[in-house]
Amino acid sequence: MPTSKENMYGDHISHQFNDDLSSLKNDFLKMGGLVEQQTTDAVNALIDGDGHAADEIRARDKVVDRMEMDLDEEATRLIARRQPAARDLRFVISVIKMVADLERVGDEAKKIAKFALTLAEEGQAPRGYVEVRHIANHVTAMLHDALDAFSRLDAEQALRIMKEDKRVDEEYQAAARTLLTFMMEDTRNISRCMAVMWVLRALERVGDHACNIAENVIYMVEGEDVRHTPVEEAEKVVGR
């Protein structure tokens, strides 16, 4: 049965149970917001050549890690104490999985910050930043929309994110080819272009994680596992 949105977290006979579920949701969204910010900041630090900002981002990853552990513990405690079933169970299980995705996004942001620092120290703007900006905008929007879909239990929006993933892959391939031509033009570009290539790779992974979150939202709402299934199949699940 598709989950009705009115009482995803509320309406339990036990009010404490309502509160536990709501606080798990809110803590997850806080972590999502932080990770989203980390990704945007890392890309900005790279493009602005801001080594100081890059340092801050790397330090802040510890907060992300801490949040991951706290959320896992919160979810474990909820299972142990409340034995959730049906939509509550799907919600808690999905959160546990999505937390892992968020933490990995945090790691990708840290990775981008590391390259931002290296490239800033080397000075001079290397090429490929247009592509970085473009893909970064795309994947951060996906991540934002995935968290939004989670927040609003919007399976249709989650489905749209799943479809976006293919476009990100194509954009990544195209950007990689462009960078390859820069490297062939002048071998002195290679090390810097490789760094940019790693950044693009990290961003492409952020898109994948956003997509995983979207798949979990569909599971949470519709009760069907749409991982490793063609988008057309997921469409049928959501369109029911």
Least CB distance from residue 170 to another protein, whole Å? 27
Least CB distance from residue 109 to another protein, whole Å? 14
Q: Which two tokens stand for residue 193?
A: 């272009």
Binding track over 152-181 against another protein, x by CB under 8 A: x-----------------------------
For residue 32, state whether it binds another protein (rule: CB under 8 A): yes
For residue 95, state whether it binds another protein (rule: CB under 8 A): no
Q: Confirm if 39 and 143 have CB atoms less than 8 A apart.
A: yes
Nearest-angstrom CA–CA distance, 158 and 174? 25
Q: Confirm if 209 and 141 have CB atoms less than 8 A apart.
A: no
Least CB distance from residue 27 to another protein, whole Å? 10
3 CB contacts (<8 Å, ≥6 apart)?
87, 153, 220, 221, 222, 223
Nearest-angstrom CA–CA distance, 214 and 23? 20
Least CB distance from residue 13 to another protein, whole Å? 5
The residues binding another protein (CB under 8 A) are 1, 4-14, 17-18, 22, 25-26, 29-30, 32-34, 36-37, 83-90, 144, 147-148, 151-152, 223-224
